[in-house]
């Protein structure tokens, strides 16, 4: 479902892509959306060659997808950036630190109820995924800014 949300928000058009994922047959309801978000760089499959379209996405995966697809600029000191925002920075895999820092600095992170706890490996609720996707639209100039006490504000 998250792939379909990204597709509707950002990745429409550009023709179709033949997918190599073993678990996404051509008759899958999200085949086109998965192809487009893969082609446009928002998402990619797992190293085993599958996409796992029926799995929940983590908050980490939501932010990685948005940061990747939008080619967000990585801050100079991504580790330092994250340490200035989150108490649980140690839960973010080292390979993901640059993109999560970029998403944070772009104002895409929405945390309920403690802004200082990212819980990156926790499954994102539909509301969290939608809120972060909306913030990505705001960051990209495609939606009006909203105020919320749960948006992690860039410093």
Structural domain that includes position 144: 56-155
Same domain, 41 and 113: no
pTM: 0.90
pLDDT tens digits, one per residue of 44-102: 888 888 999 989 999 999 999 999 999 999 999 999 999 999 999 999 999 999 999 99
Same domain, 39 and 92: no
Same domain, 73 and 139: yes
Same domain, 146 and 75: yes
Total structural domains within the chain:
2
Which residues have a Cβ under 8 Å from the Cβ of 85 and sit 6 or more positions away? 104, 109, 115, 116, 118, 152, 155
pLDDT tens digits, one per residue of 3-12: 989 998 986 6
Tell me the percentage of the chain whose pLDDT exceeds 70: 95
Handedness of CA 140, 68, 8, 1 (dihedral sign): negative
């Amino acid at each position: 479902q998250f792939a379909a949300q990204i597709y509707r928000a950002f990745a429409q058009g550009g023709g179709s892509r033949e997918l190599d994922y073993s678990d996404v047959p051509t008759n899958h309801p999200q085949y086109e959306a998965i192809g487009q978000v893969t082609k446009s760089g928002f998402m990619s499959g797992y190293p085993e060659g599958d996409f796992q379209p029926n799995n929940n996405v983590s908050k980490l995966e939501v932010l990685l997808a948005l940061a990747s697809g939008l080619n967000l600029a990585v801050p100079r000191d991504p580790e330092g950036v994250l340490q200035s925002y989150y108490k649980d920075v140690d839960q973010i895999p080292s390979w993901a630190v640059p993109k999560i820092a970029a998403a944070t600095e772009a104002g895409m992170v929405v945390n309920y109820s403690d802004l200082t706890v990212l819980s990156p490996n926790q499954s994102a609720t539909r509301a969290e995924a939608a809120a972060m996707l909306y913030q990505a639209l705001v960051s990209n100039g495609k939606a009006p800014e909203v105020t919320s006490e749960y948006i992690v504000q860039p410093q």
